Amino acid sequence: MFRKIRVALLLGILFIVAMNAWVERANSRNWERTLRVVVYPINGDHSRAGANHIRALDREAFIPVETYFRTQGQRYDIPLKNLVDIRLAGEVKELPPPLPAGAGMLDTMLWSLKLRYWAFTVDDYEGPAPEVKMFMLFFDPATHEKLPHSVGLEKGLVGVVQAYAGRRFTPRNNVVFTHELLHTVGATDKYQPGNNLPLFPGGFAEPDRQPRLPQAMAEIMGGRIPISETRAVMPKNLEQTLIGPLSAREINWL
């Protein structure tokens, strides 16, 4: 009898969690009101460069992201003017749980739950409750030639963005930030995992361009500007990207 009660309680909790997640996802992409996004900065390598960057960081750094959503939304006739509102929380001193190397499906699911719980425990933002939480880790570019992989979770509406410290990196950091933010509202990757080459046609900004290569811009979820069959480069800023029709459909813009 006690075992049946425990199972019933567990199923009830899982049902409530699932319903809450469904409601959050539905609300996050109905685009009838502004999506509240809060950025939580973290010194990813405990460096002086990271500390200095976080100390100087302000909301103005994310205005280009808000502008990008507004201009891209206009391309798809979204009537809401201010699609996202990005606010800045205080520095988080604790690092998020890392995704285990070579994690399988079960390990990834467990990590996702740990990340969402961690995000709940470290959230001390005093403003209106965010619908999307973006944790942004900053690293010293002098000691980190390559950064860990950034992630954006639709379940839980949580993102972890790996970025370089320094104002000159802000435009490129915003590209990664926007890519992961779009993940949280339903957009999927449109590049090949092995070589990061954009997939045709969904990962191309201008799939009908003649000649097809080189492309002039990147589809934001394709991640890179295709130059040749074997080469693609990171966009320098959001102005070199756009949200393609497939991604727009995934986030309920079409």
Q: Which residues contact 156 (CB under 8 A, 6 or more apart)?
A: 21, 112, 115, 116, 119
| Amino acid letter, 89 | A
Length of the chain: 254
Q: Which residues contact 207 (CB under 8 A, 6 or more apart)?
A: 200, 201, 244
> What percent of the chain stands above pLDDT 90?
83
Q: In which residue are the tokens 């009898």 written?
A: 1
Among 32, 30, 31, residue whose Cα is nearest residue 22: 30
The pLDDT tens digits of the residues spanning 103-148 come to 778 888 899 999 999 999 999 999 999 999 999 999 999 999 999 9
Q: What pLDDT score was predicted for residue 107?
A: 86
DSSP letter at 204 equals B
CA gap 190, 202 in Å, rounded: 6
DSSP letter at 250 equals H
CA gap 215, 66 in Å, rounded: 25
Whether residue 86 is predicted with pLDDT greater than 90 in this model: the reply is yes
Whether residue 61 is predicted with pLDDT greater than 50 in this model: the reply is yes
Q: Which residues contact 211 (CB under 8 A, 6 or more apart)?
A: none
| CA dihedral (106, 107, 110, 115) positive or negative | negative
Q: What pLDDT score was predicted for residue 16?
A: 45
Strand order in the sheet with 35-43: 84-88, 35-43, 132-139, 158-164, 151-153
The pLDDT tens digits of the residues spanning 229-246 come to 999 999 999 999 999 999
CB 44 within 8 A of CB 64: no
Q: What angle do CA 149, 190, 248 make, to 5 degrees?
A: 115
The pLDDT tens digits of the residues spanning 22-42 come to 445 555 568 999 999 999 999
Q: What pLDDT score was predicted for residue 15?
A: 47
Whether residue 19 is predicted with pLDDT greater than 50 in this model: the reply is no
CA distances (Å), origin 210, targets 150, 191, 207 = 33, 21, 9
Q: Which domains does the chain have, with CATH numbers?
A: 30-186 (3.40.390.10), 189-254 (no CATH)
Q: Which two structure tokens, joined as six digits, stand for 57? A: 């960081």
59 three-class SS:
helix
For residue 9, what pLDDT band results from cuts at 50, 70 and 90?
Answer: low
CA gap 228, 161 in Å, rounded: 28
CB 37 within 8 A of CB 85: yes
